[in-house]
Amino acid sequence: MQICVVALGKIGLPLAVQFASKGHRVVGADVDERVVDLVNRGVVPFPGEANLDVLLQKVVADGLLTATTDTPSAVAESDAVVLVVPLFVDGDGVPDFAWMDAATRSVAEGLRPGTLVSYETTLPVGTTRNRWAPMLEEVSGLRAGEDFSLVFSPERVLTGRVFADLRRYPKLVGGIDEASARAGVTFYGEVLDFDERPDLDRPNGVWDLGSAEAAELAKLAETTYRDVNIGLANQFARYADTIGVDVEAVIEACNTQPYSHIHRPGIAVGGHCIPVYPRLYLWNDPSATVVRSAREANAAMPAYAVDLLAAAYGDLDGLAVLVLGAAYRGGVKETAFSGVFGTVEELRARGAVPYVSDPLYIADELAALGLPPHRGEAVGAAVVQADHDEYRRLAPADLPGVTVLVDGRRVTDPDLWQGVRRVVIGG
């Protein structure tokens, strides 16, 4: 097949490489000329994705993957088009479709009869049928479901392990009609491989959910579940702090029973997915009080971590505090909705002087993010915000002068912190 992947980001580029690795001819389309140039040279534009560097070099060298900024031309030569363009939401959870609208119009300009169009970006329910289908039809002059196939098939992978997750999880597909769904199932069956999953009630592979709306809801539901579960865990942790109970031991005990799957509490819920998709769900279903309450509970955790610091240290006014970790999670150079921002903001509100360090970021990169980089200044306290592996070996000698450590991720080794007040959430 000839395949076009629109947007060569942390999901789109591994997808393009996966498709090309199966022997298909892939053109990646992106508006960023720097990304296009790097991909055409076989160079990964971002760090941290396992095996991407080796696989990208191979498919580029084999002539199976090229990149371009000319989306309409790439689409015009393709049998299938997969869009993984970012969708943003504002502080109130209202989606900003600007980038996806622009990409959809570019796709429509090159769309030809017989093409499959698949959206993988997580969307509010109804978007594929009610927004993208009319837009594609208006610009192309073709009819969705008659002249071209249209499906929604959500990405379900985690950055850093995309290729493993593509094999591990069923690929969900929902079409705007039965013919579109069949085309989507056939396509993904030819570009993906799947691990054996004896734990599933049906074989691992491509699953047709019956409609685009069902597939859209499935992605929102599975991610919203995680946010709600973490919100509940955070509520348990805050209560455990009031009664002197270790919530980790409680959760471990609860999860030995097969109907309990309590997640871990922590200082923040970040990334492009878990903090965002519940807001998209609420945009569809504003009466979902459980979802709204969980989102509010999780958003309040950075301030709660600073509460714990104040309770252990005392007045924070003028105190220099080092926030360890700008990334939203360990080992990933990404700050989308990271708890670092709320932590720094809350520290400043209490009169403290915050600094930030992260093994994945240099000082200038932190400053460009609006974060005050730590350049060796003396600090009296520290807050662990990201669970980087480096922090597992962190010791008081690494932070001379620190008398209180708030470990918001329980990543530090308590045996190394004898003599320093170490505080954990729910501990």
Please check the confidence at residue 293 and state whether its pLDDT lies above 90: yes
pLDDT tens-digit profile of 204-213?
Answer: 999 999 999 9
For residue 378, the model assigns a pLDDT of 97
| pLDDT class of 88 with cuts at 50, 70, 90 | confident
For residue 77, the model assigns a pLDDT of 97
CA triple 304-308-313, angle to 5 deg: 145
Please check the confidence at residue 91 and state whether its pLDDT lies above 80: no
- Is position 273 annotated as part of the catalytic site? yes
Residue numbers of the domain that contains 46 = 2-217
Query: Are 153 and 76 found together in one domain?
Result: yes
| pLDDT class of 113 with cuts at 50, 70, 90 | very high
Question: Which domain-ending residue is among 217, 250, 278?
Answer: 217
Question: Which domain-ending residue is among 217, 235, 264?
Answer: 217
- Give strand pairing partners of 95: 89
Query: Are 317 and 339 found together in one domain?
Result: yes
Q: Which of 4, 10, 273, 333 is catalytic?
A: 273
Q: How far is CA 4 from CA 10, 24, 238, in A?
A: 16, 10, 48
Cα separation of 231 and 291, whole Å? 9
At residue 292, φ and ψ (nearest 5 deg) are -65, -45
Cα separation of 85 and 166, whole Å? 18
For residue 11, the model assigns a pLDDT of 96
Query: Are 191 and 73 found together in one domain?
Result: yes
260 phi-psi bin (left φ>0, alpha ψ -120 to 50, beta other): beta
Query: Are 105 and 176 found together in one domain?
Result: yes
Q: What is the CATH number of the domain that holds 415?
A: 3.40.50.720
Please check the confidence at residue 47 and state whether its pLDDT lies above 90: no
| pLDDT class of 87 with cuts at 50, 70, 90 | very high
Match 């004898």 to its residue by tokens: 418
Write the single-letter amino acid at 386. A
pLDDT tens-digit profile of 370-391?
Answer: 999 999 999 999 999 999 999 9
For residue 272, the model assigns a pLDDT of 87
Query: Are 173 and 264 found together in one domain?
Result: no
Query: Are 15 and 127 found together in one domain?
Result: yes
For residue 425, the model assigns a pLDDT of 98
Q: Which of 10, 58, 219, 333 is catalytic?
A: 219
Query: Are 228 and 211 found together in one domain?
Result: no
Percent of the chain residues past pLDDT 90, beyond the cut: 97
Query: Are 284 and 159 found together in one domain?
Result: no
pLDDT tens-digit profile of 343-374?
Answer: 999 999 999 999 999 999 999 999 999 999 99
Query: Are 259 and 407 found together in one domain?
Result: yes
Which of 187, 152, 186, 153 lies closest to 169 in space, CA to CA? Answer: 153
In the chain, the number of structural domains is 2
Question: Which domain-ending residue is among 217, 239, 256?
Answer: 217
Query: Are 240 and 210 found together in one domain?
Result: no
| pLDDT class of 48 with cuts at 50, 70, 90 | confident
Query: Are 108 and 248 found together in one domain?
Result: no
- Is position 219 annotated as part of the catalytic site? yes
Query: Are 73 and 167 found together in one domain?
Result: yes
